Amino acid sequence: MSTLFTKIINREIPASIVYETDKVIAFNDIDPQAPVHILVVPKKEIPTLNDIEPKDSEYLMEMYSAIKEITRDLKIAEDGYRVITNCNSHGGQEVFHLHFHILGGKPLGALLV
Ligand code: 5GP
């Protein structure tokens, strides 16, 4: 059973895709929490941050490259932005396919706890 995000990768579910390589996809969050709210997802079903292995390093590097390119293209890199990964229940993770949230487009204030 594939994850929600694999269904987006496979075009089984529509999404507003903003960036894609052979290892990474990025699309707008369906419920944005800031003017820019983009999810950066590896094209590998790594369930949580706890499950990252050394062999996944290329995916991680490409995810950071995606963040750099997307924020530059959206012209939010200079002002800044926030990158979040939620992990498991205390982190509030809802989709068990590793992803980075890019949040920006306005001052985000203090980190919520
Ligand atoms: P998590 O809570 O797992 O860190 O984040 C999951 C994110 O996925 C949430 O911000 C939620 O709004 C987003 N999301 C859930 N379902 C969909 C969907 O079908 N399409 C898109 N684009 N985002 C989704």
Could you tell me the fold of the domain covering 4-104?
Answer: HIT family, subunit A (3.30.428)
- The residue annotated as part of the active site, out of 37, 90, 99, 101, is 99
- Is any atom of ligand 1 closer than 6 Å to the C-beta of 29? yes
- Is any atom of ligand 1 closer than 6 Å to the C-beta of 88? no
Q: What is the pLDDT confidence band of residue 102, given thresholds at 50, 70 and 90?
A: very high
The pLDDT assigned to 113 comes to 63
Q: What SS3 state is found at 45?
A: coil
Report domain extents, the chain. 4-104
CB count in 10 Å sphere of residue 36: 21
Is 0.95 topped by the overall pTM? yes
